[in-house]
Amino acid sequence: MTNPYFSLKTSKVFLIASFFTFFSIGEVSAQEIEKHLVYLSSELNLGNYVGIATDFNYIYEETYTAKFGLNANFRRSPDQPSDYNSGLAGLVTYGAASAREITVDVHLMVGKLYNLNTRKTLRINAAVGVGYTSVETVENWQKTGSNFFSGNYTYDIRSKSTASLIINPKLEIPLGRIFGFTVSPSAILNSESSYYGIGVGYMIGLIRSKPVSK
């Protein structure tokens, strides 16, 4: 079925991920802080796609890590006609009604934490894992002539799903025990549409135990 608008299903993903970004972490005892660290991280993805990533993270004894999360990325369709425009609908929705290729993955990763100094203010959270990735591509472009509201092309949206291998060696910079920044190179590898890029964001929650005194 030909659809000149961005699909409602994929646009909901960004609302869900934004909600996760503001999810608060509950309190635990001081003793548990030292052994179990639990926090939320959120990043802006920049690469061959652009999007957002949100993860719930767990660290055991500041050595072993696990995380469960979501990546939602988009890009201009590679075969988009050079004269395509989305019309007034694309303008008033800041591009949300334009034709986009969308990838969304839900993933689970495990890894190991490496503190790079004794004060625990710089560390690498090296993780690998698997994900379930949904891909929406735009195809069957048909020129309709100028249309002020909906643009000058109709097209079909094709949905596919696949398994992915995810590699994510994340640099984490705790500014204290509850907040810090992240720099997150990552690759999401699959048979349909792989992502390569880097994320920049923050983490909040129980992110670090007490630093070691000099």
pLDDT digits (tens, 9 = 90+) for 79-108: 888 777 766 555 555 455 577 899 999 999
Which pLDDT score, from 0 to 100, does residue 154 have? 77
Asked whether the beta carbons of 138 and 101 are under 8 A apart, the reply is yes
Decide if pLDDT at 136 tops 70. yes
Which pLDDT score, from 0 to 100, does residue 48 have? 94
Q: Is 26 helix (H, G, I), strand (E, B) or coil?
A: coil
Q: Is 14 helix (H, G, I), strand (E, B) or coil?
A: helix
Summarize the confidence of residues 3-30 as an average pLDDT: 47
| Token pair belonging to 48 | 């061959």
Higher pLDDT, 24 or 171: 171
Which pLDDT score, from 0 to 100, does residue 11 have? 47
> Minimal CA–CA distance to 51: which of 165, 173, 203, 199?
199
Decide if pLDDT at 179 tops 70. yes
> What number of CA atoms fall less than 13 Å from residue 97's CA on the CB side?
18
Domains and CATH numbers, the chain: 8-205 (2.40.160.20)
Concatenated DSSP letters of 172-207: EEESSSSEEEEEEEEEEE-SS--EEEEEEEEEEES-
> Minimal CA–CA distance to 155: which of 85, 73, 74, 93?
85
Each as own residue / partner, the long-range contacts of residues 86-89 (CB below 8 Å, 24 or more positions apart, any chain) are 86/150, 86/151, 87/147, 87/148, 87/149, 87/150, 87/151, 87/152, 88/148, 88/149, 88/150, 89/4, 89/5, 89/149, 89/150, 89/151
Residue 78 — pLDDT band, cuts 50, 70, 90?
A: confident
Q: Is 109 helix (H, G, I), strand (E, B) or coil?
A: strand
